[in-house]
Structure 1
Amino acid sequence: MRNLSVMQFGGVLGMLLASQGWAGGISVYEAGQESAGLANAGAAVLSSDPSVLMNNPAGLVDVLGTQANLNGSLLLGDIGFNRGAGNQFDGNEGGNILNALPGSSLFVSHQLNERATIGFGMYGTFGLTVKYDDDWAGRYFSQQATILGVSLQPTLAYRVTDNLSFGFGPRLMYAYYRTQAAVNNNVLGSSGLADGQLEYKDSDAGLGINLGLLYQLGERTRLGLAYTSKVKLEFEDRPSFDDISNPLLDTALRGINLEQLSIDMQVPQTVLASISYELSSQWRLLGSVGWQDWSEFGDIGVEVESTLGGTSLSVNRKYKDTWHVSIGAQYQASPQLRWSMGVGYDSSMVDDRDRTADNPTDAAWRFASGINYRLREDLDLHMTYTLVWLGDMSIRQSKASSGNTLAGSYDNSALHILGGGATWRF
């Protein structure tokens, strides 16, 4: 007797085009803004334009007058599965699973007086489409998964004293989720049948808050501390099944309550601490340390297994909290030109033995650089590039009922993120 895994929804695949991202402990901090060229170093202390409100709302007090910041980004992935020893599924290797993904962000700010500044940000919170070839070896785990989102954040920053500032902003997050997988009809004694198809999709909105403190420690040193609360999202939809040609399987699916399936997502709370030091009139050194509560994300996902013994639902992602550290520098080459560079590291939210096909991720190194050019007194232009290096990631994912295993690796995996934009001062 052979077992069936009908579907797997899983894990957040997210990639933030802004402050949070690919669920897997890889946070994509790049929203196209100038600070993207620092690999997140000093993100909670930099306040050169209104985009600081998404990293530390308190930084908005240093953005003078009225300003607008418009950014664009393009993420290019190079992640592909390679079959390994012990693989028990037929099919091809799936191709490059992460194609070009564009993103954009908009931030505006207005200084009310010497103490208070207001602002608004609209930026991508999630944005990832993972797509394998339909007939790849892991098609019964996942063929395609998409999660896209946007955050809307009004912000108020207030200078409490000459050295201490505070900021906060409620964050409305809207997200769309879709997953697709093949259904194996050749179970429960049947053979020679073509695959069926499963699709699940829904959208939802949730509310959180961003808080921040900014402290001037002497003439050369600034400290920043920022917190983002978790945001709860709940997707509810009736799974769609097509081409279920096995009558016993069709009966088993009808026998369980799949009129509405709920998937709860907890976008994790985060803490970020940053420091900057003015080494000279031209050089500024920056650093950041961060924590992200991905362990609360661990119950995301549904796996439905059908055998002659019945049908069951189970899930266990075994995600864990992650840490981030980064260092960087800015060089003011001339009154018009500023150069940024940074190196960062994010720990993995999943152990090698728990990696899954719908969220192939690992610890990541990021190497970033960018330039900002003052074209006019009221207009700055910037461009950034980030390499996110994931390296080699092994996978051994098994079906809960049958024990059949997808085995292999994702070798030399990397993300390339291009960004650019402009800041206007009115």
Structure 2
Amino acid sequence: MSFIQSRNALSCAVAGALALSGATLWHSPVKAAGFYIQEQSVSGLGRAFAGEAAVARDSSTIFFNPAGMVFLPGTEVQAAVHLLVPKASVSDKGSTASSELNPLVYDGVEFMGGSGGNPYDPTPVPNFFISHQHDDRTWFGFGLTAPFGLANHYDDDFFARYDSTETDLKVLNLQPSMAYRLTDRLAIGGGIDIQYADATLKNAIPDPLNPGGPTLETDGEQRLDADSWDYGFNLGLMWQATDTTRVGLHYRQGIKHTLDGKARVRNPQGLVPQIGEGFEEDGSADLHLPDMVALGLRQELNDRWTLMAQYKWFKWSNFDEIRVRFDPDSGLGDNSVEQNYKDSWALSVGAEYQLDDRWTLRGGLQYDRTPTQDGYRTTRTPDGDRTWYSFGASYEQGPNWGFDVAYTYIDISRESLELTRGQDVGAAINLTGTTEGHVHILAAAVRYRF
């Protein structure tokens, strides 16, 4: 195997790793189907984000529909934190290894490896919003959020270590926004999304003389570090159809990131005599995040009960491939890895009950379809269809201070894992398994109006 062939093997793996490079500033595990993170509002979490494009209860509407600021008099500042406690389980169902260099010993034999343990740690995810009424028709706002991302780390002997061992991705989303009241019942709003993304991704490289063997010391390793600044926009419409019915529509552009960075490889022992211990190379890759459209409904039944519903569509088919480009002087051409994400959707319903002048109680359900498909799903996003069960409450301490709390349980369905890794280094690791998991979320927010 030539040196260039070995480095092309790296480019394939780097491409697959970059497939997940939309991430969160606070090392958050993924909390919505795909790698979108919905947890940008505590009051919204309490109703499973039902009607969030239409509710405009507090300044977190800046993220979900900035047109909703027209329902917020004066100035409001909000700070919140969501504590995410996820658990994922990846199970081996008969993975095998083959070797071009040692076919008599390794020809479709099962190899040993652990389950990787729970790859996630409990993680706090904060966000911040401020809205300001300039006059009777104009509002300005700003949001600091983390709309995409994940972070996980598997045990060293993970059976799927050739797919991933560690993912540490970060993104910061800055959103200056504006809303304008066109009529007494119709408002528009929009914002600029300015994002900084950073990624560190690792996985093992199989030794073609000992693929999937019991001695992990023979494995190689590759690591990618890359970052990017890019920007996009979002637009919203809010219509107060009647005194008791409100409809909201929101569109968020799928930002296309170009991440520039450096890939480092430690070659497996079977390749060291031929091509050396490893190398380091500059590279870049595109990551196209999904366009999103949300349609929300808020319906007051009486002075105490309000119902909400929302349909949200994700153009995850934007994410069809990751193409990695290396420095032309390296001798490596472009390399792409198919991701084959499909468009998906989420549907949520919820209700609020006004207990008295200070307390509001809420609850909601959501069904969130995964965009991943069999044959392409990876251990970096052990994803499945998600069912949300949420409840929460708000407390108003006079005209200025307000507090929100919420709890959510998310059940992640069992899905298959069917991947092949290592072909370009003379090995074929056929990973066969299942993934499933769940998430607990606790959240709290404080608001101040003046």
Q: Is TM > 0.5 for Structure 1 vs Structure 2?
A: yes
- Residue of 430, 434, 438 corresponding to 1:405: 430
Could you tell me which of 2, 6, 9 is aligned with 2:17? 9
Q: 1:46 aligns with which of 18, 37, 55?
A: 55
Deviation at 1:325, TM superposition (A): 0.8
Seen in structure 2, the aligned counterparts of structure 1 residues 17 and 32 have a Cα distance that, compared at 3 Å, is farther
Partner of 1:104: 126
Quick check: 180-189 or 232-241, which moved more? 180-189
3-state secondary structure, aligned to 2:126: strand
Q: Which amino acid aligns with 2:431?
A: L
> Which amino acid letter does the alignment assign opposite residue 205 of structure 1?
W
The percent of aligned pairs where both chains have the same amino acid is 29
**Aligned equivalents of 1:365, 1:17: Cα separation in 2:** 25
* 1:374-403 deviation line (CA, Å, top 9, x unaligned): 123210111111112112122111127354
Q: Are 2:263 and 1:263 equivalent residues in the alignment?
A: no
**1:100 Cα deviation from its structure 2 partner:** 1.4
1:13–1:145 Cα contact (<8 Å) kept: no
Shift of 1:233: 1.1
Which residues in structure 2 correspond to 1:156-305 (within 5 Å)?
156-187=178-209, 194-242=218-266, 244-245=268-269, 246-248=271-273, 250=275, 259-300=281-322
Q: Secondary structure at the match of 1:60?
A: helix
Q: Partners of 1:396 and 1:23 in 2: how far apart?
A: 22
Alignment-mate amino acid for residue 40 of structure 1: F
- Cα offset, 1:242, TM superposition: 3.0
Please give the residue correspondences for 1:304-343 in structure 2 after superposition, counting only pairs within 5 Å.
313-343=335-365
TM-fit CA distance, 1:17: 9.0
Q: CA 1:311 to 1:113, structure 2 compared with 1: closer, same or farther past 3 Å?
A: closer
Residue number in structure 2 paired with 1:129: 151
- Pairwise CA distance, 1:313: 4.2
DSSP-derived class of the 2:375 partner: helix
Q: Deviation string for 1:322-365 (max 9, x for gaps)?
A: 11111110111111111111111111202233211222111111
Identify the match of residue 92 of structure 1 among 97, 102, 114: 114
Residues 249 and 81 (structure 1), Cα distance of their counterparts in 2 relative to 1, 3 Å cut: farther
Instruction: State the partner residue of 1:386.
Output: 408
- Cα distance in 1 for partners of 2:411, 2:23 equals 15
- Separation in 2, partners of 1:169, 1:15: 20
Q: Using the alignment, how far apart are the partners of 1:108 and 1:312 within structure 2?
A: 44
**Residue deviations 1:91-141, cap 9 Å, x none?**
211000121122111101111111111111111223421111122111111
Cα 1:17/1:342, change in 2 over 3 Å: farther
For the 8 Å contact 2:24–2:169, the answer to whether it is kept is: no
AA aligned opposite 1:270: M
Establish whether residue 73 from structure 1 lines up as the match of residue 82 from structure 2: yes
Kept in 1, the 8 Å contact 2:244–2:301? The answer is yes
Give SS of 1:125's match: coil
Q: Could you say what secondary structure the match of 1:202 adopts?
A: strand
| 1:311 shift after superposition | 11
Residue type matched to 2:179 in 1?
A
8 Å Cα contact 1:15-1:23 kept in structure 2: no
RMSD after superposition: 2.9
Preserved contact between residue 53 and residue 296 of structure 2 (Cα < 8 Å): yes
- Bigger shift: residues 96-105 or 392-401: 392-401
Relative to structure 1, the CA distance from residue 312 to residue 403 in structure 2 (aligned partners, 3 Å threshold; closer, same or farther) is: farther
Alignment CA distance shift 1:172-1:15 (3 Å): closer
Q: Contact 1:270–1:290 at 8 Å: present in 2 too?
A: yes
Unaligned runs of 5+ in 1: 305-309
Q: What is the identity, as a one-letter code, of the residue corresponding to 1:282?
A: R
Q: Alpha-carbon deviations, 1:294-324, whole Å to 9, x = none? A: 11112137699xxxxx999441111111111
Using the size of structure 2 for normalisation, the TM-score is 0.85
TM-score of the superposition, structure 1-length normalised? 0.89
Out of 17, 21, 35, which is 2:44 matched to?
Answer: 35
Tell me the SS of whatever aligns to 1:315: strand
Give distance in 1, aligned partners of 2:21 and 2:363: 27
CA distance 1:418–1:206, shift in 2 (3 Å): same
User: In 2, distance between residues paired with 1:223 and 1:98?
Assistant: 37
CA distance in 1, matches of 2:25, 2:197: 13
Partners of 2:324 and 2:86 in 1: how far apart? 26
Unaligned runs of at least 5 residues, structure 2:
97-109, 327-331
Determine if contact 1:12/1:23 at 8 Å carries over to the other structure.
Answer: no
- Are the aligned partners of 2:222 and 2:265 in contact in 1 as well (CA < 8 Å)? yes
Q: Distance in 2 between matches of 1:399 and 1:243?
A: 15
- The AA in structure 2 aligned to 1:293 is K
In 1, Cα distance between the equivalents of 2:32 and 2:365? 20
